[in-house]
Amino acid sequence: MTEEEALAQFCTSDGKTIADCSRASDVLLVFLRHEGCTFCREALADLAEKRSALEAAGTRLVIVHMSSDSGFRVLTDKYGLPDVPLVSDPERTLYQALGLRRASWWEMLSPHIWWKGFRAALIAGHGFGGIRGDAFQMPGIFLIREGRVIAKHLHRDASERPDYLEVCALPTRL
């Protein structure tokens, strides 16, 4: 499946395809790891902080996850994103169509990741949760315009905290 086909096929919790959403305004399509992941929760906090700036720039936030929408909505509510459209992709079809990779064992077990996870979970208060989805699936960010990817950021590791506003400013990089 091509990127364009996937964007035209997958629907948000609002019932619109991602491609259709991107015809009304740019869409920042944020792929997260499983809902129990402390880095997923940390990303939700970062997105809640940046949401008003994203929207002021004319970009709509859409979150892709591997759980049920109702289960994941508990997290988005907790982090102040109760109305953000969600895309449930438990089979990771959309993740694969957009080229998001799976991490290796070493990447997930490295001391660097564990230390950052400890800080995010306990010091920042994001906590730990059970694995619901593929624990090795890496996250990513895609800026979608008119049904096409115009900018992207593929995470180098699970703990990376990218600048979401910077991704929106990179449409000429692809």
Residue-wise pLDDT tens digits, 72-115: 898 899 999 999 999 999 999 999 999 998 877 566 566 666 55
Per-residue pLDDT of the chain (174 residues; tens, 9 = 90+): 888 999 999 999 999 999 999 999 999 999 998 776 777 788 999 999 999 999 998 999 999 998 888 888 988 999 999 999 999 999 999 999 999 988 775 665 666 665 566 665 556 666 676 667 777 788 999 999 999 999 998 988 767 778 888 887 766 544
Sheet strands (E) in 7-139: 26-31, 59-65, 86-88
The pLDDT assigned to 174 comes to: 46
What is the pTM (predicted TM-score) of this model? 0.83
CB 172, CB 166: distance < 8 Å: no
- Name residues whose C-beta falls within 8 Å of residue 111's C-beta, 6 or more positions apart in sequence: none
**What SS3 class is residue 163?**
coil
CATH architecture of the domain with residue range 3-168: 3-Layer(aba) Sandwich (3.40)
The pLDDT assigned to 72 comes to: 87
The pLDDT assigned to 119 comes to: 67
The pLDDT assigned to 160 comes to: 76
